[in-house]
Amino acid sequence: MRIFTASLATETNTFSPMYTDVHSFYQSFYAPPGQHPATPTLCSAPLIACREFAAMDASLQVIEGSCAWAEPGGLLNRHSYELLRDEILQQLQQAMPVQAVLLGLHGAMVAQGYDDCEGDLLSRVRAITGPEVIIGATLDPHSHLTPQRLAASDLLIAFKEFPHLDFMQRARELVQLALLAVRGEIKPVMSSFDCRMIDVLPTSHEPMKSFISKIRELEQQGAALSISVIHGFMAGDVSDMGTKLLVITDNKPAEGEALAQALGMELFSFRGKTLPQFNDINTALDLAQQVAGTVVLADVWDNPGGGVAGDGTLILHSIIARKLTGVAVGTIWDPMAVKLCFAAGEGAVIALRFGGKSGATAGAPIDKTATVRCLAAGAVQQFADSSVPMGDCALIEFDGIEVILNSNRCQSFDPSLFRALGIAPQQRKLLLVKSTNHFYQGFAPLAAKVIYVDAGAPYPSDPTRNKYTKLRRPLWPITPRPFD
């Protein structure tokens, strides 16, 4: 049996000025055939899962295609998308005949002229393979589920957890179900339900935590081969944006549709109730100052994982104004400032302008006389089984505040980002990170308190105010009663 696997993924915030091109992929993650490291990345996990299955089964031959991931950003350059897409399609053409094509996708990639990149890619894969080959993919739940994707593929499986710590498990499920389908032991049929809502749905908190447990139990009881919650991605202005339920049954479409609808309406009843308490900056800092022990402040809307720059300074300006000390910030994206720190060298005291350069809404740049405490070329942080490149990083210090400046945009996943620059995070009073919820599992164990801060910018976090031009369906909260 021959399986082709590859990965092409990014998450496109169509409102973001951080335009994406092929170099964004080369900088974040790019592995041509045979060069994928032994550790998975969020979206290339199917390749690693294929290797695992092949290691246990000599009759299974895996043909590896290219894997590419770009940090979430703005609209993808058309030529860059076509270049990366066609690279994979050519590899597939050369690999034929295969019995399955398993891709690691994100599902919210938008390029100039392509509102549904994944639908386009899957359709072109189908055109090469013909109708008999099993086509499957893993998806990030922050994706758009389009009819074109459903029509072109047999198996779509989204990560269940947000934080997405289960990406390897979902990739193994994909391979396992694909092998069963190729052998004719199952006939997967996908059924979906449009929940007509868009919200942020962390599964580390209730009610989503219990909802995901319930879905796992349903799978274990055999109610379906796979159940995915597509959370949707509100920063993507495309017609299929929104929350959806996806059920894969063993050729029981009516049962699948009924289950998708029942679960979908249950999820709809959670709308507006899924987020932990978000605080404005002053409330958050008041709360933080009352806590003994390490406080983790999450700047939820300056999260590069949502496609924004990650160079916002709104919260740090308030921290400076309050003269707080024992503060470590991880991270602020500023490749220009990093270059200057590297040129000055460790120990140098320099006048530095950093942060706040990418847009008008996320705070002004900060000017300080700072000491360059640590320089790390090609620093990485961990996220579950994967290593996330932060690029060259500089740790600067001023007024009892340490700031890690990074040159690869990336969200704050894990305390290892502080250790990479020589900071013991549990020894600081206040850790400021940029992440909506992926930070939670890693940081909660060392925090006396986790405080979510809504600084109001720059992520388009309020769907009722976002200027959608392509959305035609009624969708809560834009339409208060979308099912009427």
Query: C-beta of 141: minimal distance to Zn ion in Å?
Result: 6
Which C-beta is closer to Zn ion: that of 89 or that of 201?
201
Q: Are 110 and 468 in contact (CB under 8 A)?
A: no
Rounded to whole angstroms, the Cα distance separating 85 from 408 reads: 23
Residue in the structure block whose two tokens are 């050519």: 90
Binders of Zn ion in range 162-181 (CB under 5 A): none
Identified binder of Zn ion from the candidate list 140, 173, 402, 454, rule CB under 5 A: 140
Query: C-beta of 173: minimal distance to Zn ion in Å?
Result: 18
Query: C-beta of 44: minimal distance to Zn ion in Å?
Result: 15
Which C-beta is closer to Zn ion: that of 85 or that of 164?
164
The H or E element spanning position 103 is: strand 100-105
Structure tokens belonging to residue 333: 């994206």
String marking each residue 314-353 x if it binds Zn ion according to CB under 5 A: ----------------------------------------
Q: Which stretch binds Zn ion (CB under 5 A): 134-142, 295-303, 423-431, 459-467?
A: 134-142
Q: Which stretch binds Zn ion (CB under 5 A): 133-141, 219-227, 235-243, 319-327?
A: 133-141
Q: Which residues 6+ apart lie within 8 Å of 90 measured at CB? A: none
**Spatial CA neighbour of 334 closest among 416, 421, 379, 394:** 394
Query: C-beta of 209: minimal distance to Zn ion in Å?
Result: 17
Q: How many residues line the site for Zn ion (CB under 5 A)? A: 2
Strand, coil or helix: 239: coil
Which C-beta is closer to Zn ion: that of 164 or that of 428?
164
Residue 144 touches Zn ion, criterion: CB under 5 A: no
- 204: exposed, middle or buried (Cβ count in 10 Å: 0-12, 13-18, 19+): middle
The H or E element spanning position 228 is: strand 226-230
Which C-beta is closer to Zn ion: that of 237 or that of 402?
237
Query: C-beta of 158: minimal distance to Zn ion in Å?
Result: 9
Q: Which stretch binds Zn ion (CB under 5 A): 73-81, 140-148, 316-324, 373-381?
A: 140-148
Q: Are 379 and 406 in contact (CB under 8 A)?
A: yes
Q: Is the peptide bond before 458 cis (omega within 30 degrees of 0)?
A: yes
Rounded to whole angstroms, the Cα distance separating 295 from 74 reads: 32
Strand, coil or helix: 60: coil
Which C-beta is closer to Zn ion: that of 140 or that of 240?
140
Which C-beta is closer to Zn ion: that of 142 or that of 428?
142
Give the residue closest to Zn ion by C-beta. 142
Identified binder of Zn ion from the candidate list 36, 85, 142, 429, rule CB under 5 A: 142
**What's the N-to-C CA distance of the chain in angstroms?**
50
Which C-beta is closer to Zn ion: that of 145 or that of 423?
145
Q: Are 416 and 386 in contact (CB under 8 A)?
A: no
Q: Where are the alpha helices (DSSP H) in 105-207?
A: 117-129, 147-152, 167-182
Q: Please state the separation of Cα 403 from the chain's center in Å.
A: 24
Query: C-beta of 190: minimal distance to Zn ion in Å?
Result: 20
- 290: exposed, middle or buried (Cβ count in 10 Å: 0-12, 13-18, 19+): exposed
Query: C-beta of 229: minimal distance to Zn ion in Å?
Result: 12
Q: Which stretch binds Zn ion (CB under 5 A): 85-93, 141-149, 288-296, 425-433?
A: 141-149
Structure tokens belonging to residue 176: 């396992």
Rounded to whole angstroms, the Cα distance separating 15 from 458 reads: 10
Q: Which stretch binds Zn ion (CB under 5 A): 139-147, 173-181, 334-342, 383-391?
A: 139-147
Which C-beta is closer to Zn ion: that of 61 or that of 441?
441
Which C-beta is closer to Zn ion: that of 142 or that of 149?
142
Which C-beta is closer to Zn ion: that of 230 or that of 375?
230
Given the rule CB under 5 A, which residues bind Zn ion? 140, 142
